[in-house]
């Protein structure tokens, strides 16, 4: 749930993963609950996994939380390096990209939209 940035976030995520795209998008019209043209509901896929996002009309006292992250099991070091660079840009890094006892290469971060991600490479 975003507040005016759902489409921007969705397009950013789609640009990072293969086999991704917008499945459907419904926008608020004039005189509806949300700002005209913002996302009432959108479905999209990231590497074949379906997600949904919305632009919430009211501003809430809450946002995304690090208690739930999108977990990505990367196929290569190049992939984890690229995802870390792109997702951490203007975001917050909770655990820097490094080797940890539980992963050959791992990072935990929140992107510029506030969405938490865990990236892992163990091959």
Q: How many structural domains comprise the chain?
A: 2
For residue 11, the domain's CATH number is 3.30.720.100
- pLDDT tens-digit map of 65-101: 989 999 999 999 999 999 999 999 999 999 999 999 9
SS3 call for 12? helix
Give yes or no: residues 48 and 88 share one domain: no
In a domain, 65, yes or no: no
In a domain, 63, yes or no: no
In a domain, 1, yes or no: no
Bridge partners, 95 (sequence order): 108
Confidence of residue 63 (pLDDT cuts 50, 70, 90): confident
In a domain, 113, yes or no: yes
Distance CA 123, CA 117 (A): 19
Q: Which domain holds residue 35?
A: 6-53
Give yes or no: residues 115 and 75 share one domain: yes
Task: Using CB atoms within 10 Å of the CB of residue 58, give its burial: 0 to 12 exposed, 13 to 18 middle, 19+ buried.
Answer: exposed
CA distances from 84 to 31, 72, 90, 119 (A): 40, 11, 11, 7
Q: pTM of whole model > 0.85? A: yes
Alpha-carbon Rg of the chain, whole angstroms?
A: 16
């Amino acid at each position: 749930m975003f507040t005016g940035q759902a489409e921007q976030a969705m397009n950013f995520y789609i640009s990072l993963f293969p086999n991704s795209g917008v499945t459907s998008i419904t926008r608020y019209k004039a005189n509806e609950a949300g700002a005209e043209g913002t996302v009432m509901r959108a479905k999209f896929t990231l590497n074949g996994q379906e997600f949904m996002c919305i632009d919430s009309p009211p501003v809430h006292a809450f946002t995304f939380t690090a208690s739930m992250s999108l977990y990505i099991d990367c196929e290569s070091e190049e992939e984890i390096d690229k995802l870390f660079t792109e997702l951490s840009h203007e975001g917050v890094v909770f655990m820097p990209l490094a080797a940890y006892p539980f992963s050959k290469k791992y990072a935990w971060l929140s992107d510029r939209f506030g969405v938490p991600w865990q990236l892992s490479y163990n091959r």
